[in-house]
């Protein structure tokens, strides 16, 4: 890799990992090499990019301003390399994907396995976060594409991939489990485990729309934590059906009497600027379960 690009990559990876040591491990470099490359950038540009202390490294104001520009350079280089490889008949590259847990656990492994059969040289990097984090990663260029609940930012190019039904989960033997479906009004006043983080999500919207007010005992973005607490008779939750496959918890699962869905989609910052590897990945998604609509 060009020396300047190696330094840029070391800087970005150090920011993402929060330390020189973890960045070096990810890049397969010596820790001293990563530290020196960033020091070289700071010396060349006459600015301090990172503050160092015992807890790790943090961006300075100058670093915050420069980071998106460096990401743009690295993304442009990946795009260039991808097209050169494509012209030479080489299908390779790295696809960086932002996703949330249920897609990462129950959908992507199958997609990766099938893609590997046709494109064994393509590699994948996966970042798991909530909707807000994934939107930010797409906007900043940290990922090539992201799975999100639609609608999302109007600045993104998006496509619907799947409708995912929300289900009520509850402790074994709960009175509401006697019915085949659960009325949303039956949750009024019930101890509740809320799936939410960094802003209101579909479950909050459903409760507000239905004017139902359960007793919120715990709030978390971790689906499995909600299942574990429901198993221990700490409350009822509402989770997407995708995450409820092959679970190890002993809980009751029932659909709502009036079905409630989220639309899972794929989003990119600019479909015209995708690398060939990312294009292959997004094109493949068109043929999974529910085809995407006019994406590329």
Residue 269: which residues within 8 A CB-CB, separation 6 or more? Answer: 138, 139, 141, 155, 156, 157
Written as six digits, the tokens of 196 are 């939410």
pLDDT in tens, 63-117: 899 998 998 888 887 777 767 766 555 466 789 999 988 888 888 888 888 888 8
Q: What is the pTM of this model?
A: 0.66
Q: For the chain, how long is the longest CA-to-CA vector?
A: 70
Q: What value does the mean pLDDT of the chain take? A: 86
Q: In the prediction, which pLDDT does 295 show? A: 45
Q: Over 60: is that where the pLDDT of 294 sits?
A: no
pLDDT in tens, 210-269: 999 999 999 888 889 999 999 999 999 999 998 898 889 999 999 999 999 999 999 999
Residue 277: pLDDT band (50, 70, 90) is confident
Q: Which residue has the higher pLDDT, 283 or 91?
A: 283
From the number of C-beta atoms within 10 Å of its C-beta (0-12, 13-18, 19+), residue 109 rates as exposed
Q: In the prediction, which pLDDT does 91 show? A: 64
Q: In the prediction, which pLDDT does 215 show? A: 95
pLDDT in tens, 178-187: 999 999 999 9
Q: In the prediction, which pLDDT does 24 show? A: 87
Q: Over 80: is that where the pLDDT of 2 sits?
A: no
Torsion of CA 254, 257, 258, 262, to 10 degrees: 0
């Amino acid at each position: 890799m060009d020396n300047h690009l190696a330094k840029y990559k070391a800087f970005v990876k150090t920011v993402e990992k929060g330390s020189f040591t973890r960045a070096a491990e990810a890049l397969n470099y010596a820790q001293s090499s990563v530290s020196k490359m960033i020091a070289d950038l700071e010396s060349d540009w006459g600015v301090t990019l990172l503050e160092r202390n015992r807890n790790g490294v943090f961006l300075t104001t100058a670093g915050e301003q420069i980071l998106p520009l460096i990401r743009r350079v690295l993304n442009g280089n990946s795009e260039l390399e991808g097209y050169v490889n494509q012209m030479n008949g080489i299908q390779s590259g790295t696809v960086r994907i932002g996703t949330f847990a249920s897609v990462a656990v129950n959908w992507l492994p199958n997609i990766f396995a099938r893609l590997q059969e046709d494109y064994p040289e393509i590699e994948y990097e996966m970042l798991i976060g909530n909707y807000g984090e994934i939107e930010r990663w797409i906007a900043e260029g940290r990922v090539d594409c992201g799975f999100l609940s639609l609608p999302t930012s109007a600045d993104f190019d998006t496509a619907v991939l799947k409708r995912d039904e929300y289900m009520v989960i509850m402790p074994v033997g709960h009175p509401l489990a006697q019915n085949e479906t659960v009325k949303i009004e039956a949750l009024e006043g019930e101890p509740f485990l809320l799936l939410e983080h960094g802003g209101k999500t579909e479950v909050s919207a459903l409760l507000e729309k239905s004017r139902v007010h359960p007793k919120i005992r715990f709030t978390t973005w971790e689906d499995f934590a909600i299942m574990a607490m429901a198993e221990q008779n700490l409350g009822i939750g509402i989770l997407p059906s995708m995450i409820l496959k092959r679970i190890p918890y002993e809980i009751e699962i029932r659909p709502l009497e009036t079905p409630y869905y989220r639309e899972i989609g794929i989003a990119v910052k600019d479909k015209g600027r995708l690398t060939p590897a990312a294009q292959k990945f997004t094109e493949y998604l068109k043929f999974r379960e529910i085809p995407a609509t006019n994406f590329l």
